Structure 1
Amino acid sequence: MSSDKFPIHTAIKEGNFNLAKQLISQQSPNKSTLVKDDDDRTPLHWAVSIDNAELVQFIVEHLPKGTDIDELVDGSGWTPLHINSSIGNIEILNILIHTDPQPDINLPTNQGTTALHLTVSKNHVRYASVLIDEMGANCRVKDKKGYTPLHRASSIGSIGILKLLINSPKGVNVNAKDNDGWTSLHHALAEGHGDAAVFLVNEGGADINAENNEGQTPIQVAVDEKVAKYFKEHTSI
């Protein structure tokens, strides 16, 4: 059973945090904190997953000296930092980012997604701000589908994150295309986020005539006429 093979992992997942700490303290840190379960996840992955900053700190302190967080990848190529970025816990981010060696904030998963992609997708505005403004996350990187963080922010209609990305220190290419030739403006209109689409044009300078691989402009992929009409009324199209 998994509880026999991976007692620390199981204790964490079941909320038995004192037991997990006891097991880690009793065993050699080299063995206990780096053991991977059937999903290739370490105890640190699970501590992050359950959003427990105090336990994360404890485990980090018991990692073998020089452990590289970037090398703790699960079956999907996710490090604890990737998991936390999806959750959006800034306290845990600060714990992980101050390990030595410092994790690569732009490290991609197997799908090419970075911490910024993941936190944008969950609309964690404050977390995204920390990644961009304090840690210099790359706002232009594309995942394996060709999506930039701006594509993802547009798809969920997050004006707050669109502002962060467009005003980021190194800027973004607002007209960058994904593998299907879609710009962020295509995604915003296709998902029905008229306000985000208007923002991309009026504040970001998005090209209303950009064509995807099918020769369609953003307005042509709008989810419905209501969104298309709103977009036309609030831009110079």
Structure 2
Amino acid sequence: MKWGQEFAAKALLGHGADTTLSDKYGSTPLHYAAENCWVDVAEYLLLNNNDRAHINAQDDLKRTPLFRAVSMSKPSPDTQTIPMVRLLLQNGADQTIRDELKDTPLEIAASYYMVEMVKLLVKFANPVIINAKNSQDKTPLRLVLEKSKEFFDPEIVQIVKTLIENGADPTIPDKYLDTALHYAAQYSFAKNAEIILNWAKLSGKRIINAPNWQGKTALHLAIHSTKVLGNDLRVEMISVLLKYGANRWIGDDLGMTPVHYAAQISSIGITKLLLQDTDLSYINLQDLDLQTPLHLAVN
């Protein structure tokens, strides 16, 4: 405990200090205790206030003490962050309250791949908040997949698994009709895609060939994406999709199948992979320009 905050707080409270008053920034003592992870001080403040409403008080940026505790610890949580957040949740902190930017604590934790924080928050959350969309039409699951393109870490897989095991729905589309699987495929996150597809298999959801607004399936995106350098990750991603039943002969809005795109990018390995164990009677399918995969391969 730094500078004896606990003793000072106890002395002031013992002489009638009001725990609910806010300063010019809208911050209460609990806001400051929360963001600094002063667990003992926060516990004492909560014990000395029978009005539980103040636990969800919002500062000038609409942040609650819970939000401050989570957001001020990104991307590397302080050792006392988890106990601090647990204390707030156990005392009625509301995860559904959004800040000025319309974010929730869970969305912040997911965005910064804070594994233990996500596990704790979902333990106290309901499916509504787990699948809630922010102002950019993104769920926590979508946010963690998006963030991982910049800061890829094996712990991302743990967060995806945790969210799905606790009610996150990978089939929820954004405004472009892209689902979590589309996004995982686009960035060749094979392990994340496999978690999503295994969930779909167990729950009876048919998502493997779902089209987005351009008629593209996850397989289209895995092949055609410009987000991935090199073919190794791409091949791994495509193999996972094919394993779970991706259809290589579905045309998008341009009439192009995954085989068309493989031929277009002149990838021998991917083309061979797509042509294994399939009905080759479709090999001469034409797109809207009447081109077959062979046209694209030699053009």
TM-score range (shorter-chain normalised) is: 0.7 to 0.9
Deviation at 1:108, TM superposition (A): 2.3
1:55 to 81, 84, 88: 84
- Structure 1 segments (4+ residues) deviating >6 Å: none
1:82 to 92, 101, 107: 107
Tell me the TM-score normalised to structure 2 length. 0.63
CA distance in 2, matches of 1:43, 1:215: 52
| Structure 1 residue identity aligned to 2:143 | L
Partner of 1:18: 38
Partner of 1:157: 188
Q: Which moved more, 1:74-83 or 1:27-36?
A: 27-36
How many residue pairs get matched? 227
Partner of 1:211: 251
1:139 to 150, 163, 170: 170
Q: Deviations over 1:161-200 (max 9, x none)?
A: 1111111122441111112222111221223452244224
Deviation at 1:234, TM superposition (A): 2.3
**Ranges in structure 2 where 5+ consecutive residues have no aligned partner:** 1-22, 277-299
2:219 to 182, 185, 188: 185
| Structure 2 residue identity aligned to 1:18 | W
Give the structure, 1 or 2, with the largest relative contact order (CA under 8 Å, sep 6 or more).
1
Q: Deviations over 1:118-161 (max 9, x none)?
A: 223326111211222x3232221112221111011112211111
Partner of 1:93: 118
Match status 1:127 vs 2:136: no
Contact kept in structure 1, 2:107 and 2:143, CA below 8 Å = yes
2:67 to 45, 48, 54: 45
In structure 2, relative to structure 1, the CA distance for the partners of 1:140 and 1:32 (3 Å cut) is closer
Contact kept in structure 1, 2:27 and 2:59, CA below 8 Å = no
Q: Deviations over 1:50-81 (max 9, x none)?
A: 23322212332444xxx5422x1234443212
| Structure 1 residue identity aligned to 2:257 | T
**Ranges in structure 1 where 5+ consecutive residues have no aligned partner:** none
Q: Which is higher, the Rg of structure 1 or of structure 2?
A: 2
In structure 2, relative to structure 1, the CA distance for the partners of 1:56 and 1:34 (3 Å cut) is same
CA distance in 2, matches of 1:11, 1:147: 39
CA distance in 2, matches of 1:136, 1:54: 24
In structure 2, relative to structure 1, the CA distance for the partners of 1:6 and 1:90 (3 Å cut) is same
Q: Deviations over 1:90-132 (max 9, x none)?
A: 4323432343x73522222233322222223326111211222
Contact kept in structure 2, 1:85 and 1:118, CA below 8 Å = yes
Q: Deviations over 1:199-220 (max 9, x none)?
A: 2443122122222223333355
Contact kept in structure 2, 1:68 and 1:102, CA below 8 Å = no
Alignment RMSD (CA, Å): 3.5
CA distance in 2, matches of 1:129, 1:180: 28
| Structure 1 residue identity aligned to 2:161 | S
